[in-house]
Chain A
């Protein structure tokens, strides 16, 4: 386990190093410059270039950037009055995290209820209904769902504010829009896993020893059916990252996703670079945690013996 972990960590850092290097050089290759405004006089432009260290040769810039990244400094934004990128990300992160985590909580609870009903009432109308809902939930993208929610819940019914982010109630619709995909994924997973687990001998044993139906379902069926949910973790992280780009755009939520799209629109290269690195770190960590958890939960696939 320790050997596996160290190897994973080394690979992780190599991967991150390459990702950062490639994105850095890509940002150097970009056509145009953030200071291409024709109103700037050459002197002012030179001053700006000097201020951001853009007058130095690329390899010096690269080494400096790498050194700074190691210290958690992602450089300064070209656009927003040279505020540090890291600071901008960190101020925006809590909002995105809050909406994302709330969406996962909605998704887990509703998805488990839906999946459990479908599995317990297998091959009935309830089951079909749950499967249809799950398929629709996976297929309807957030950028269709968002406007629809705004229209029905916000405008027609007036239940929730349509946009911005001032208090808790503003977070409900964005989370709801994000969670539909989570609900569907969790529901499908729980349904298939429960159906499989319910056919196992140990469930028959649990029933035979006189446990009540509810106890069997909660203590034995659900618990074992939840193991494979761990495999959804990495895809879910990607989904929450990319989903935040759309949802925050639609509901005008001041999170990282909205900031990233803005920085792309205004060509704020240092911001794009920094956010990409940040997203990659989150995603790679999620992958790592998923693999470790999987090894802990299911001893059959112990990571130590995974090598062929």
Chain B
């Protein structure tokens, strides 16, 4: 060590060291963006309750709901038609004597599946499309944006209805219809964000250090857009769930004997006058699902993007 012969008094450094430690103690542990957001989200009671309810509905629809009931959603027994809620049939039975409890949860499964699917499409198609379009810019961007404009020219549900006419109505067709149009809004948002970020210093720094375009997008631009992406996901999910229920309601979605919340609501509405339970149960679950996703979306927006908070 060359510094040894300079003979520095070690006492000189002592107070400074103590100061530093104290300063660190006051600052507390570093808070990452996600942790910070999580803390903010926890303060939002509505959003937290919604999160719990969504998890609960998932558990009910996929695991608990079908497990606790011995009945099948498809088994018809005309002797048990139009029972009100009883100890055996918790939500009553429909006009064919089918158990409403299991039917409602089967319908909820469809809704949740659609919601998940829409989220995946948004991520894998919307984000990728938007990132390419926004990052490359120029001619590519122009062409890609025109493509989106054309897809957006036809209202989303009309495309879905057309798909239902062309292919056989069912969950697969709804999937295709969602795949055609569901992701465009996300693509636009991500594109805008990319254009805004790609000229900022940190992206420039990464590029001048020799990072490839793909790496800049993947390592820097996408992580910086994640908040926006999550917020947008939370608004795509309920609108996709709504679209499926809507199609099933007008008879173009899930076909009998399968159940969807939309078709159950439609059946229930037809018999509202004498058997209101057939409408109330699926409607209540559906509205609960929508309210929770909307509240959670609002909460996440406030938590992830405090600038947007109003």
Task: List residues of chain A with CB under 8 Å of any chain B CB.
Answer: 11, 14-16, 18-19, 23, 26, 29-30, 135-136, 138-141, 143-144, 146-148, 150-151, 155, 192, 195-196, 238, 241-242, 245-246, 249-250, 260-261, 264-265, 267, 272, 276, 279-280, 283-284, 287, 308
- CB-defined interface of B147-176 with A at 8 Å, one 1/0 digit per residue? 001101111111001101110000000000
| The one of A16, A26, A144, A280 that contacts B166, using a Cβ cutoff of 8 Å | A26
Do A144 and B283 have beta carbons less than 8 Å apart? yes
A278 CB to closest chain B CB (Å) equals 10
Nearest Cβ in chain A — how far from B47, in angstroms? 11
How far apart are the CA atoms of A11 and B195 in the complex, in Å?
22
- Among B69-77, B88-96, B269-277, the one that faces the other chain is B269-277
**B276 with A151: CB separation less than 8 A:** yes
Given the interface contacts A26-B166, A30-B165, A308-B137, does A141 sit within 8 Å of B150 by beta carbon?
A: no
Pairs A–B under 8 Å by Cβ, sample size 20? A15-B146, A15-B149, A15-B153, A29-B166, A135-B295, A136-B287, A141-B246, A143-B262, A143-B269, A147-B268, A147-B272, A151-B276, A192-B310, A245-B246, A250-B269, A264-B161, A264-B164, A279-B158, A280-B155, A283-B153
Contacts of B298 in A (CB 8 A): 135
A150 with B272: in contact, given A135-B291, A138-B294, A246-B249 (CB under 8 Å)?
Answer: yes
Which one of B165, B249, B252, B294 contacts A139 once the chains associate, using CB atoms below 8 Å?
A: B294
Q: Is the CB of B290 within 8 A of A140?
A: yes
Contact A261 B158 (CB under 8 A): no
**B213 at interface by CB-CB < 8 Å:** no
Picked from A136, A192, A241, A264, the residue with its CB within 8 Å of the CB of B165 is A264
Q: Is the CB of B290 within 8 A of A196?
A: no
Q: Is the CB of A140 within 8 A of B287?
A: yes
A residues in contact with B161, CB < 8 Å: 260, 264
Closest to A281 in B: B153
Chain A residue, CB-CB nearest to B153: A15
Count residues of chain B with CB under 8 A from any CB of chain A.
43
> Nearest B residue to A138 by beta-carbon distance?
B294
**A contact patch SS:** helix
**For residue A141, which residues in chain B have a CB less than 8 angstroms away from its CB?**
242, 245-246, 286-287, 290
A19 touches B250 (CB 8 A): no
Q: What's the nearest-Cβ distance from chain B to residue A185, in Å?
A: 12
Residue ID in chain B nearest A234 by CB atoms: B152
A138 to B251, CA, bound (A): 23
Please determine whether B294 and A135 come into contact, CB atoms closer than 8 angstroms: yes
In the bound complex, what is the Cα–Cα distance between A140 and B282 (angstroms)? 12
Chain A residues positioned under 8 Å from B166 (CB to CB):
26, 29-30
How many Å from the CB of A21 to the closest CB on chain B? 11
Q: Which of A19, A143, A196 contacts B245 (CB 8 A)?
A: A143
Tell me if B104 counts as interface (CB < 8 A to partner A): no
Chain A residues within 8 Å of B273, by CB? 151, 155
Residues of B within 8 A of A246 (CB): 246, 249-250
Q: What are the residues of chain B within 8 A of A196 when measuring CB–CB? A: 310
How far does the alpha carbon of A18 sit from the alpha carbon of B151 in the complex, in Å?
10
B295: which A residues are within 8 A, CB to CB? 135
Answer yes or no: B102 CB below 8 A from chain A CBs.
no
Query: A144 to B155, Cβ gap below 8 A?
Result: no
Does A136 lie within 8 Å of B156, measured CB to CB? no
Known: A143-B249, A246-B246. 6 other contacts (CB 8 A): A30-B166, A135-B294, A143-B265, A144-B287, A272-B162, A287-B152
Docked complex Cα distance between A16 and B156 (Å):
15
Q: Which residues in B have their C-beta under 8 angstroms from that of A138?
A: 290, 294
Q: Note all chain A residues with C-beta closer than 8 A to B154.
A: 19, 23, 276, 279-280, 283
- The complex places the Cα of A14 from the Cα of B265 at a distance, in Å, of 40
Q: Which residues of A contact B146 (CB under 8 A)?
A: 11, 14-15
Docked CA distance A108–B89 (Å): 44
